[in-house]
Amino acid sequence: MNAFCEGKVAVVTGAGGTLCSAIAIDLAQKGAKVVLIGRTREKLEKVAEEIGRADCPQSAAVRLEPGDVTDEKAMQEIADRVAAEWGPCRYLINGAGGNNVKAMPTRLRFSEADYAPTADFAKERGFWDIDLEAFKSVLEINTLGTVIPSRIFGLQMAKAGGGAILNFASMNTYRPLTRVAPYAMSKAAIANWTMFFAQYMAPAKVRVNAVAPGFMVNERSRQYLMTPDGGLSPRGEQVMHHTPAGRFGEAADLLGCVNWLLDDAQSSFVTGITVPVDGGFLASAGV
């Protein structure tokens, strides 16, 4: 086992989710002191329980820090507590983010119906029917929800002599998939932010990279990629048609790339990049 993070502090935001919970558990199994940040304590408790059942070395530890990553004051308080009790953050995984169905049209192309937008959310929705406040909230959680923890924990890393930050991009970083305009905008921004912050933090020996997961199986994706009986929905069929690997991804598929990008011994000269982990989705034209 490559225990590059043994005894070091790893902060994971969005830690209650399928992908980031797997990363948190993996880091704990490598001996890290893992800080779980998320808005829902119950989800964090479940991840902590899984870590408790895992085969972790004595150096491993876990703590729950419920909080909103867009709340700078709350994030600073968490960072200060962690530093006082465990020492400075060495690894930051910016996994918090999300989408909002109220910012998603159901109609995919402009039509005459767009001339008469409706406030009735139960009806078919075009772009002019979506909730602009929901649109803004998606931009905020996915952009400022990465920038704020990066500012706070990145400064800790700089003062301590270095560290590694891992951001979460998406297939939407490269292609604006239908119906998710604010999510796509924000995930395109993450790749740009990753490059900006990587060059800015290089003198402080803080590396900044990102992963772009392909279509992974989690609670949210099951709803639009699969049918209730486990088959493929029409959208799932489209995705599979564009995925040479012939399957959806699992959380475990991310771990090798994540470990490589965090481990200074393996990627000390790697910063400012976004790595797709997508089963070939971006390589496929679909024809």
Domain annotation covers residue 1: no
The string of DSSP letters for 83-131 reads: HHHH--EEEEEE------GGG--S--S--GGGGS--S-TTS---GGGS-
Cα torsion 31, 40, 221, 180: sign:
negative
CATH code (residue 206): 3.40.50.720
Domain annotation covers residue 133: no
Domain annotation covers residue 224: no
Domain annotation covers residue 262: yes
Domain annotation covers residue 234: no
Domain holding 81, by residue range, is 9-104+139-214+249-280
Domain annotation covers residue 227: no
DSSP three-state, residue 234 = helix
pLDDT tens digits for the chain (287 residues)? 578 999 999 999 999 999 999 999 999 999 999 999 999 999 999 999 999 999 999 999 999 999 999 999 999 999 999 999 999 999 999 999 999 999 999 999 999 999 999 877 778 999 999 999 999 999 999 999 999 999 999 999 999 999 999 999 999 999 999 899 999 999 999 999 999 999 999 999 999 999 999 999 877 777 778 888 888 998 899 999 999 999 999 999 999 999 999 999 999 999 999 999 999 999 998 77
Domain annotation covers residue 86: yes
Write out the two tokens for 238. 């489209």
Helices (H), the chain: 18-29, 41-53, 72-86, 132-139, 145-160, 181-201, 219-225, 234-241, 252-262, 264-267
Question: Is 115 an annotated catalytic residue?
Answer: no
Q: Specify the pLDDT at position 1.
A: 57
Domain annotation covers residue 225: no
Active-site residue, from 115, 183, 200, 224 = 183
As for how many domains the chain has, the answer is 1
Model-level pTM greater than 0.85?
yes
